[in-house]
Chains A and B, each alone.
Chain A
Amino acid sequence: MRLVIPLMITFVAGMIMILQFFVPATQPMGDNLQEWYMIVSSAAIFLGAANLITVHVHKIRFKARNWKYSPITLIGFAVMIITGLVFGIEADLPFDYLFQQMVAPMAATMFSLLAFFVASAAFRAFRASNWRASLLLVSAFVVMLGRVPIGSMIWNKIPIISEWIMQYPNMAGQRAVMIGAAMGMIATSLRMIFGIERSYLGGAD
């Protein structure tokens, strides 16, 4: 039963969501399922929060590797929740202040570090080892120059060539990837609806 019930739910929900496009009578059922999806997704946020607390309390209790960061995570989590619940989340209130002055700069800093790693990785790995790699290298140079004003200052045709690379070779490749991924998604969805693919159940066969 532990296997049959989830498979039945998946089959019924999946079929309703497909049928609602073709059978108008199933539309209200599809709408209801969408409502449920939003409710279940909202509940998942609480699960996520509970999981975060459990994992970090466990790390602190057993002094697991890098456990010293866990109290900071938990304090940050508690402070944001308390300020949000007590004062509200509107602009110019403590929650918004903490978000704008701490969360935003720290997150932007983390992402900005990519520039350093990209430079270092490109220096070590971007090699013209054969003609295909050389072609990629030349394309990358043209696009990099075409995306900044200095490119048109060097030669005013660079942005045009860069846009051509984006609109033709890039788009052809992207379309191939998208169509392939869409086909894969359809196949996987049908396998899940018909109970052939069961890995989402946690490995149960």
Chain B
Amino acid sequence: MATFIEKLGNLDRRVIFVLMALAVIIPLALRMNLPIPIDKGPSKNLFDAIDALPEGSRVLISFDYDPSTMPELQPMAVALSQHLMTRDIRIVSLALWPMGVSLGNEALSAVGDSLGKEEYVDWVNLGYKIGGGVLIVRMGSDIQSVFPTDYGGNPVDEMPVMQGVNKLGDLDMIISLSAGDPGIETWIMMAGDRYNIAVGGGCTAVSAPQLYPYLSTGQLIGLLGGLKGAGDYETMVRIGVENPPPGIAIAGMAAQSVAHLVIMLFIIIGNIAYLSEKKRKGGAK
């Protein structure tokens, strides 16, 4: 028995890799959908804050991530865009990360087309500029001096969506979808605190714990943490919608559930083997 348990403790990592792959592939292939309960929490707070904005409000979305974190953050971008556009809220977007421009554009154009929203009228993508926190401070006094044109080179001052938006203070909310620095913390420090604008965010699951202090102080009005946050938001956006499109994050949550269970199973097996070996060595002494 001891030999079997110890053998289990020395499981080849390729076995772990295969089981992990199956844990992710099977739920996705079977299109498993698990119910996502929505209680009060950071995701609900962000949803409620956006829901409370009046029609015609202006929200800035900053796409501060790159394709490596796309599986977690892109579903958030899509769900947030759906919520904002459905409520006729104008979206001004930009990116503090160079690759965020295309990802943001993909989300905004797909959602905009499906809801009949027009680029430059209902939403605009200003593109990427280097500078992080300094860029935000400059936008605090004049957005159009930093972004005279959008990412495609079109003059910003002629766009209906930008009418009345001259500085950060003209915006009703800022949402940063962030995979690191510059990201949510930069927006909180440079825009939220300095210009008194509500800041919300979405981040990878691994970086969510470090943003909780900002939630408790109210510097962050709400937070979507990882795929769970995206799944929560997708669920809330779909409430009351007839025949909603399939949710990317909701589908991913089933795979993540099984993957978490598999990781926990491996940890338990590893610990049984460890304790068994420890007991045997103790007995040998």
Cβ contact within 8 Å between A167 and B212: yes
Cβ contact within 8 Å between B259 and A126: no
How many residues of chain A are within 8 Å of chain B by beta carbon? Answer: 59
Q: Does A51 contact B (CB under 8 A)?
A: no
Interface residues of A in 74-114 (CB under 8 A from B): 88-91, 96, 99-100, 103-108, 110-112
Q: Which of B16, B138, B225 contacts A34 (CB 8 A)?
A: B138
Q: Which of A31, A107, A127, A152 contacts B68 (CB 8 A)?
A: A107
- A2-10, A61-69, A169-177 - the one binding chain B: A169-177
Task: Tell whether A144 pairs with B109 under 8 Å between CB atoms, given A90-B152, A103-B99, A126-B270.
Answer: no
Docked Cα-Cα span, A196 to B71, in Å, equals 45
Docked Cα-Cα span, A126 to B267, in Å, equals 6
Task: Tell whether A144 pairs with B264 under 8 Å between CB atoms, given A38-B138, A174-B213.
Answer: yes
Cβ contact within 8 Å between B270 and A108: no
Cβ contact within 8 Å between A99 and B130: no
Cβ contact within 8 Å between B68 and A41: no
Cβ contact within 8 Å between A152 and B37: yes
- B56-64, B100-108, B161-169, B195-203 - the one binding chain A: B100-108
Chain A 154-185, CB-CB to B under 8 Å as 1, else 0, gives: 00100110010011001100110110000000
Q: Which of B20, B151, B257 contacts A150 (CB 8 A)?
A: B257
- A52-60, A117-125, A187-195, A197-205 - the one binding chain B: A117-125
What residue of chain B has the Cβ atom nearest to residue A170's Cβ? B209
Q: Which of A38, A115, A126, A148 contacts B24 (CB 8 A)?
A: A115
Cβ contact within 8 Å between A103 and B67: yes
Name B's interface SS. Answer: helix
Q: How far is the CB of B51 from chain A (nearest CB, A)?
A: 21
What residues of chain A lie closer than 8 Å to B228, measured between beta carbons? 147-148
What residues of chain A lie closer than 8 Å to B70, measured between beta carbons? 104, 107-108
> What bracket does the count of chain B residues touching chain A fall in?
35 or more
What residue of chain A has the Cβ atom nearest to residue B154's Cβ? A90
Q: Which of A38, A104, A150 contacts B261 (CB 8 A)?
A: A150
Interface residues of B in 239-276 (CB under 8 A from A): 253-254, 256-264, 266-267, 269-271, 274-275
What residues of chain B lie closer than 8 Å to A178, measured between beta carbons? 210, 213
Cβ contact within 8 Å between B257 and A123: no
Docked Cα-Cα span, A204 to B127, in Å, equals 39
Cβ contact within 8 Å between A171 and B216: yes
Task: Tell whether A99 pairs with B16 under 8 Å between CB atoms, given A42-B130, A149-B35, A178-B213.
Answer: no
What residues of chain B lie closer than 8 Å to A150, measured between beta carbons? 34, 257-258, 260-261
Interface residues of B (CB under 8 A from A): 11, 13, 16-17, 20-21, 24, 34-37, 39, 41, 66-71, 99, 101-103, 105-106, 109, 129-131, 134-135, 137-138, 141, 151-153, 205, 208-210, 212-213, 216, 225-226, 228, 231, 253-254, 256-264, 266-267, 269-271, 274-275
Can you identify 27 A-B contacts, CB atoms within 8 angstroms?
A31-B141, A38-B131, A42-B130, A89-B102, A99-B99, A103-B99, A104-B70, A107-B68, A111-B71, A119-B262, A119-B266, A120-B16, A122-B266, A122-B267, A128-B271, A141-B264, A144-B260, A147-B260, A148-B34, A149-B253, A166-B209, A166-B212, A167-B212, A170-B209, A174-B209, A174-B210, A175-B213
